[in-house]
Amino acid sequence: MAIFTIDEVKKTFSNGEIEEEVLKGINLSLKEGEITALVGASGSGKSTLLTIAAGLQPASDGQVVFEGKNISAMTQEQIRKIRASKFGFIFQFAHLVPFLTVEEQLELMLDVSESTLKKDERKKEIDRVLKLVEMEHRRHAYPASLSGGEKQRVAIARAIIHKPKVLFADEPTASLDSKRSKDVMALIQRLTQTLNITTLMVTHDEDMLSYADRIIKMSDGMVS
Amino acid sequence: MNMAWKEIKKNKGRFMILGSIVFLVSFLTFIISGLANGLSQDNAALIKELPDGSFYMDANADETYNLSKIDPDTQSNLLNKQAEAAALSIQMGFLNNKNDKQQSVAFVTSTDSSLFPKVKEGEVVLDASMKDTGIKVGDVLTNNQFSGKFTVKGFVDGKKYSHAPVAFINSENYKEMYRTEEMQLVFVPGEDKAQSVAGLQAYSKKQFLHTIPSYNAEQMSLNMIVWFLVVISGMLFAIFFYMMNVQKIGLYGILKAIGVKTGTLFKMMWTQMLLITAGALSLSVALSQGFKLLSPDGMPFSLTLDTTIQLSIVFLVIGFIGATLSGIQIKKVQPLQAIQQGEV
């Protein structure tokens, strides 16, 4: 069943009088619990598509439908609420908050998603997710003292703590070595299956494609 | 979660620097404000300690009380209307002690009124600061323009004029010394609105203080320094938070991407501004009150609770404005830019 539909999405960037069409009418649907990988050369439009789908920038034309609602027609505040409660994000870099400990990063996400969990339930949920990403022993550490792989695992924990419906991952392994990349991808795959999360991932790394259920190749702003 | 406090705790050094700058500027502001108020008291306590009311001066005196001569009939009419009203005159002069050492004083004489000490002919009531020069009740003092002698009858607190202690004398003695029959001013206490009196110009207490040339110049300079310091502290807040925000643009973008409200980021910045300013102000209020206790006796320093509270509120408002102006960047930051910029 499709939870997410991208319908004839176009994106044009203007630079003075020059207009560049980056996406030329993309159609795509994401099925619940599946990992979809977007691949393609640099400039093919895969990251632009991901950010439009995630509500981080508007499409020039077309619509993005999530759970039956057209998010392209929503206000910024409505989109923010969806991002906060229904979406999870993993970026190329972990982008953790430098002055929060591992456990506080997750607490922050629960706050942002306006979680209704009580204090002790929150603690249990944080414990559970930290265990899932095998970071419970580093719960009081600040990002500066974590390795690249550990940071990315915390970023994954932050992305799933509020039980999102869709996980957007933009080059989640690009800043990691091959062993850590595989560990992180295996973790995303395991969590996607366990928590029934739909994942849309952009990657350059062909080794990571084995973790995807579906691979969509993009070329020159179109699905090829 | 209180992100503002957690950031302060993690980056103590950075926030201590801002806190110490705000402390130094606010401390300096309190001290200069204390000196401004102290000098103001030293210059015009005689007038400032009077209740609110109206001063009447000769309309032809060009706002200079020294040149004012009030017609005795007009004076009587005014005094008859209000029991506490008083006609008064002020002249700078000298008193000589028994060793012929001169002391600069402001001679003040008035008609009968509870607002001024009653002094018989040949008597003088002095400001209490004259005690420091060794003068005691019963001492005999002289003046070169007065044929008789003044016997010190007593002392009163906080009566200074033009940085000199006030010497209250009887109007008959005053007339002899300054060869005049007219008084310079009439003061009517408790008037909300001054009456219109032919040949006289009315002034509120505040307006009258500003006709004293030295008072105006002194207060303008000091108040200008105080307000400059307040503006500088506002600019410091704006610059500091601007620098911090520039460093955190990436972080703000990521936080916005994951769904943090822009308002939450502003609240975080305001909370930090409030905590730092409150901490710095508490310290500078405590130290400036300590300075008040430890300052030398001769130093005119007066820092009232009202002034302290007013200045503290101004500092908080200025800090809020400075921080908010610098926070416009937070509103502008796009999540996408931050994601594309790399690690924060």
pLDDT in tens, B90-138: 999 999 988 888 999 999 999 998 899 999 999 999 999 999 888 999 9
Contact A95 B1 (CB under 8 A): no
Concatenated DSSP letters of A125-191: HHHHHHHHTT-GGGTT--GGGS-HHHHHHHHHHHHHTT--SEEEEESTTTTS-HHHHHHHHHHHHHH
Contact B336 A57 (CB under 8 A): yes
Q: What is the pLDDT of residue A184?
A: 83
| DSSP-based helix, strand, coil % in chain A, nearest 5 | 40, 30, 30
Q: Which CATH number fits domain A2-223: 3.40.718.10, 3.30.565.10, 3.40.50.300, 1.20.1050.10?
A: 3.40.50.300
Q: What is the pLDDT of residue B342?
A: 59
Contact B255 A100 (CB under 8 A): no
Q: Which residue of B has its CA nearest to A81?
A: B259
Q: Using pLDDT thresholds of 50, 70 and 90, give the confidence band for residue B82.
A: confident
**Residue B213 scores a pLDDT above 80:** no
Q: Which of A81, A84, A92 is closest, CB to CB, to B258?
A: A84
For B315, half-sphere exposure in the C-beta direction (CA atoms, 13 angstrom radius) is 32
Q: What is the pLDDT of residue A141?
A: 97
Q: Which residue of A has its CA nearest to B264?
A: A112
Number of A/B CB contacts below 8 angstroms equals: 66
Check residue B183 and report its DSSP letter: B
Contact A109 B7 (CB under 8 A): no
CB of B335 less than 8 A from some CB of A: yes
Chain segment B307-325, per-residue pLDDT in tens: 899 999 988 998 888 888 8
**Residue B344 scores a pLDDT above 70:** no
Q: Which chain A residues touch B if contact means CB-CB below 8 Å?
A: 51, 56-57, 80-81, 83-85, 87, 89, 91-95, 97-100, 104, 107-109, 111-113, 142, 158, 170, 175
Is A54 in a helix, a strand, or coil?
Answer: coil
Q: Which chain A residues are Cβ-neighbours of B255 within 8 angstroms?
A: 97
Percent of chain B surpassing pLDDT 70: 98
C-alpha–C-alpha distance, residues A160 and A175, integer Å: 20
CB of B332 less than 8 A from some CB of A: no
Q: What is the pLDDT of residue B222?
A: 84
Q: Can you give the pLDDT of all 224 residues of chain A as single tens digits?
A: 788 899 999 999 888 788 889 999 999 999 888 999 999 988 899 999 999 999 999 999 999 999 999 998 999 999 999 999 999 999 888 899 999 999 999 999 999 999 999 999 999 999 999 988 889 999 999 999 999 889 999 999 999 999 999 999 998 888 778 888 888 888 889 888 888 899 999 988 888 899 999 999 999 989 87
Query: Could you identify the residue written with the tokens 């409505």?
Result: A78
* Range with top average pLDDT, A106-115, B219-228, B325-334: A106-115
Report the b/e string of A42-51 with b at 16+ CB within 10 A: eebbbbbbbb
Contact B6 A142 (CB under 8 A): no
Work out the average pLDDT over B264-290.
93
Assigned token pair, B36: 């401004």
Q: Which of A51, A83, A100 is closest, CB to CB, to B6?
A: A100
Query: Could you identify the residue written with the tokens 């506080």?
Result: A104
Q: Which of B1, B10, B254 is closest, CB to CB, to A111?
A: B1
Query: For testing the chain B interface, which of A57, A80, A92, A103 should be mutated: the one with the most B CBs within 10 Å?
Result: A80
Q: What is the pLDDT of residue B250?
A: 84
Contact A95 B10 (CB under 8 A): no
Q: Which of B254, B256, B259 is closest, CB to CB, to A113?
A: B259
C-alpha–C-alpha distance, residues A211 and B59, integer Å: 97
Q: Using pLDDT thresholds of 50, 70 and 90, give the confidence band for residue B343.
A: low
Query: Could you identify the residue written with the tokens 């001066």?
Result: B57
Contact B258 A158 (CB under 8 A): yes
Residue ranges of domains in chain A: 2-223
Chain segment A120-162, per-residue pLDDT in tens: 999 999 999 998 888 999 999 999 999 988 999 999 999 999 9
C-alpha–C-alpha distance, residues A128 and A122, integer Å: 10
Beta bridge partner(s), residue B4:
none
Contact B259 A99 (CB under 8 A): no
Q: Which residue of B has its CA nearest to A119?
A: B1
C-alpha–C-alpha distance, residues A2 and A191, integer Å: 19
Q: How far apart are the first and last CA of chain B?
A: 21
How far off is chain A from B265, nearest CA to CA, in Å? 12
